[in-house]
Amino acid sequence: MSQPYILAIGDIFTDAFIKLNEDVARVETDENGEKRISLPLGSKPPYDGVDIVQGVGPAPNAAVATARLGVATSLISFLGDDQVGKDAVAYIAGEGIATDQLSVQEGMKTSYYYVLRYGAERTILVKNEAFEYKWVDPAEEPEWIYLALISNDSWEFHEGLAAYLEAHPNVKLAFQPGTFHFKWGVEKLATLYRRTHIIVLNREEAVDITGASYDSIHNLAYALHDLGPQKVVITDGPNGSYASYDFKLVTIPNYPDPAPPVDRTGAGDAFASTIVAALALGESMDTALTWAPINSASVVQKLGAQAGLLRREEVDKFLADAPDWYKLTDFEG
């Protein structure tokens, strides 16, 4: 391929977004300080609407983001041969993503999530189907592999991925760890961490992985580098994000929201994958970090993780219109 080529890896599912009626549903705080959604039990409360969003998940979200930004993209995901799966394959193909490495498994259902929306917040009811996770070497060596959320049943797949990376030292690994990556722990994934070119995660996840102090971004970044990644990016909600690379630690603020967020689903996926897309396109890490918050800010303006993902010319326009304070600076904290 003449374009740079990214192979995204991770689970795929369909989301049903159910907008709760805020006159009926409530958000309550329990005795442990945790917020919970409350609905009348045994009744038929009305809801405001439902929207079906196909072909989502951190890896598919990343694949759509990188494809829209001009990177040749393929996707390894696992799904059933039901109508939901067929619709997801058609959707992914329509985004210009190669689908020949999708594993469509006979007699299986495609994973289906229900997203309960309350304002801009959401609670996701998840059910992951038990697919057979088998690594198959891609026919063409990608410049990048982007690894994100994938099932607890995929350990043998990860062993195959690690072996492939060992045999193909020029492939750069971008790692956006998912739930089971955190549960497996650093020791089990040591080979992949050592092979990681860039890791992107939030501040709490960085603490979970390293055990370093939440209070020190410097120590969190150093601890992540010690595991192997050459570039470390730590997101921190309203405080913006931090990145450690080339012997420096920098910070970038969030891009200003053009309007109040509609739905925060996929903002982190957009951020991480936009950095990787920019690097794949030959941009510097400094530039990549200015692109990423723009795509995140766009995604939260629309329902679902992909509707707001931008194309290159749109990112360029947002950069041109950015306020003076939107810039990369050295982090001294």
C-alpha dist (Å) from residue 10 to 61, 88, 160, 270: 10, 14, 14, 15
Residue 26 pLDDT: 92
pLDDT per residue as tens digits for the range 36-59: 999 999 999 999 999 999 999 999
32 within 8 A of 130, measured Cβ to Cβ = no
Other beta carbons less than 10 A from residue 225's beta carbon: 16
Residue 1 pLDDT: 44
Bridge pairing between strands 231-235 and 241-245 = antiparallel
Residue 119 pLDDT: 80
pTM: 0.93
Residue 2 pLDDT: 65
For the chain, the average pLDDT equals: 95
pLDDT per residue as tens digits for the range 167-179: 999 999 999 999 9
Local confidence band at 261 (pLDDT 50, 70, 90 cut-offs) = confident
Arithmetic mean of pLDDT, 94-120: 94
**Domains of the chain (ranges, CATH numbers):** 5-11+56-110+130-330 (3.40.1190.20)
What whole-number distance in Å separates Cα of residue 113 and Cα of residue 128?
Answer: 8
What whole-number distance in Å separates Cα of residue 27 and Cα of residue 82?
Answer: 35
Residue 285, pLDDT > 50, answer: yes
Residue 90, pLDDT > 90, answer: yes
Residue 316, pLDDT > 50, answer: yes
HSE of 307, CA atoms in CB hemisphere, 13 A: 13
11 within 8 A of 59, measured Cβ to Cβ = yes
Residue 15, pLDDT > 70, answer: yes
* Helix, strand, or coil (residue 188): helix
Q: Which tokens sit at 181?
A: 């990556």
